[in-house]
Amino acid sequence: MTAAELMKELNQDSEFVRRRQELDKHFDSLGERLAQAEKPLVQALNDVVGVSVKSVWDLVNTAQNYEQAIPALIAQLKYEYPFRIREGIARALTVKGAGEAAYRVLVNEFEKLPDSTDAAQQGFKWALGNAISIVADRDHFDEVVDLIRDKRHGRFRDMMVLRLSDLDPNRAVDVLMELLSDDEVAGHAIVALGKLKVQRARPQLLRMTNHATPWVRKEAGKALAELDK
């Protein structure tokens, strides 16, 4: 049965149609509530000369420079918008050269956000960690390492691990090798070590090819292949 044939059959099922309509209403209502909640943020951004948006996500999805909006984004990240909106602010701040003030507010929000099973909160925390990995510079190396070593932040450290060598490739090696024993970020440490072609990591990478997680085993094999090039 093709996808089109399956959808045709499902659309003849009144219960399926009813559930789909209820789901559509739910998402429409959620979108309306988020748009209402985002109004102060949109107004603050549109007050910036040269910026015209209907949502902060317009900045996330644009290829144009919006450097002039960075101070407004920094200020707005501190407010208690719904997590989906705050995720958009964090993603909009995920730009090289955002500056020290952006780095500080991202780290502050990352550190104080507790562990949660809420998907929206998790999305926000991951976006914060990812933004830190881009906005941080060489002077922030030690602080980023401290964040990475803090296991309370779980898997949300992953992009900081992956990009640690961008801050200081020489100092990153020992930290990345240490992180091979941290199952939540070991795979990303492997990727980074492979990218750096760290020959002394070969014995550890060989052991990681027997890791319980298939993705980690695969990345260990790919990293070893990089060492052989």
pLDDT digit string (tens) for 202-220? 999 999 999 999 999 999 9
Range of the domain at 57: 35-94+101-135
Quick check: is 174 in a domain?
yes
Q: Which residues of the chain have pLDDT under 70?
A: 1-31
Single-letter code of the amino acid located at 101:
A
Quick check: is 15 in a domain?
no
Q: What are the b/e assignments for 130-140, b being 16+ CB within 10 Å? A: bbbbbbbeeeb
Please check whether residues 147 and 131 belong to one and the same domain.
no
Contact criterion met (CB below 8 Å) for 64 and 97: no
CA distance 153 to 129: 9
Quick check: is 60 in a domain?
yes
For residue 5, the model assigns a pLDDT of: 58
For residue 27, the model assigns a pLDDT of: 42
For residue 36, the model assigns a pLDDT of: 86
Distance linking the first and last C-alpha atoms of the chain: 46
CA distance 11 to 200: 59
Please check whether residues 127 and 181 belong to one and the same domain.
no
Output the six-digit token pair for 138.
């060489």
